[in-house]
Amino acid sequence: MNILIAGNIPYIDELIISLKMIISDCNVIVQKNELDLYKHDCNPSDIEIVICNNFFLKNDLKKFSNLKYIQFLSSGLNNVDLDYLREKNIIFNKVNTSYAQPIAEFVVFSILFFLKDAYFFIRNLREKEWSKNRDISDLSNKKIFILGNGNIAKKIVLLLRNFHPEIFIVVRNKSEKISNGCINVNEFDTFIDINDKKFISENADIVISCLPVNRQTRHYIDFDFLLKMNDEAILINISRGEIIDEKSLIYFLEKGKFKGIYLDVFENEPLSKNSKLWTFDNIFITPHNSFISTNNSDRLLTEIKENFESYIRSLEK
């Protein structure tokens, strides 16, 4: 069995050992720069398993004609042709749990950053000014709408509950998902259908996007949604940049709307130095960085190993 690992993975040695413990005679090929074209002695048609993130953005998936399994190292799946994978019965997994903790912590951090007006105190610190701020708030009873109900959303809910906000989970096909057991009603508080945009935008103190990007969700947070939001609302996007219409967001930021905006993802990355998003005092920007933690390697190694073991077991049935 030929396995390709593409990407500069810090835990590569441990990963190879784990793979060989499961399949002792596997042949592991390593390509550190996954955006390079594949050039190895092993023909791409002989590769059965690929572990990667963006490898297939530059490499033709169809050349890997014997591919059986892909383990993606990201939590999103917009970097490969999923229809082709399904058509060819190629099994694939993404990272489901490993990044949830650091992303959820960044979400909570950013909410508190704005509610406690951190920029005010940072400016005072730099200017050595002793000045109280009487206009700071807390999370109790805040209405928080989380768009999406995946593992990241679950972790965010878990971390936020001790602050006693009112949490709403926005899902697609609410009734269908609850009736067929796709949603564990005990994990969340209140469910809202994704089509109830007017209710969400008009009632939210805080909106957190954990949505995947697709035809339904692209620019879900559009001009009308932003217009209806409270002027003192907080908006957070840690999922995909295309969820928010950035031009509309800039329009409202220029008018002084929003208590705070936290963006970790953007429609075009890296964010241009000429983007107006850099210029506002009520915005906090990270460069698609919220998933990173020094603890990720152990979590990822465990998750990849468990997924791989599950795949091998499926072959033995």
pLDDT digits (tens, 9 = 90+) for 276-308: 999 999 999 999 999 999 999 999 999 999 999
Classified as helix, coil or strand, 189 is coil
Region 9-25: mean pLDDT is 94
pLDDT digits (tens, 9 = 90+) for 101-137: 999 999 999 999 999 999 999 999 999 999 999 999 9
Asked if pLDDT for residue 174 goes beyond 80, the answer is: no
Asked if pLDDT for residue 183 goes beyond 60, the answer is: no
Strand partners for 70: 50, 92
Region 160-173: mean pLDDT is 93
Asked if pLDDT for residue 219 goes beyond 90, the answer is: yes
**Domains (ranges, CATH) in the chain?**
2-96+294-316 (3.40.50.720), 100-285 (3.40.50.720)
- In the prediction, which pLDDT does 9 show? 93
- In the prediction, which pLDDT does 33 show? 96
Classified as helix, coil or strand, 55 is helix
Structure pTM?
Answer: 0.92
Model confidence at 184, pLDDT cuts 50, 70, 90, reads low
Alpha helices in the chain (DSSP H): 12-22, 55-58, 82-87, 100-115, 118-127, 151-160, 174-179, 197-203, 223-228, 246-254, 296-316
Asked if pLDDT for residue 175 goes beyond 70, the answer is: no
Asked if pLDDT for residue 139 goes beyond 80, the answer is: yes
- In the prediction, which pLDDT does 173 show? 74
pLDDT digits (tens, 9 = 90+) for 232-253: 999 999 999 999 999 999 999 9
Alpha-carbon dihedral of residues 142, 145, 151, 154, nearest 10 degrees?
30
Asked if pLDDT for residue 185 goes beyond 90, the answer is: no
- In the prediction, which pLDDT does 249 show? 98
Asked if pLDDT for residue 316 goes beyond 90, the answer is: no
Rounded to 5°, angle at Cα 228 from 248 and 154: 90
Asked if pLDDT for residue 189 goes beyond 90, the answer is: no
Q: Give the residue from 258, 255, 247, 251 showing the smallest Cα distance to 284.
A: 258
d(CA 51, CA 4): 6
Alpha helices in 116-256 (DSSP H): 118-127, 151-160, 174-179, 197-203, 223-228, 246-254
Classified as helix, coil or strand, 234 is strand
d(CA 212, CA 206): 19
- In the prediction, which pLDDT does 79 show? 80
Model confidence at 78, pLDDT cuts 50, 70, 90, reads confident
Q: What percent of the chain has pLDDT over 90?
A: 91
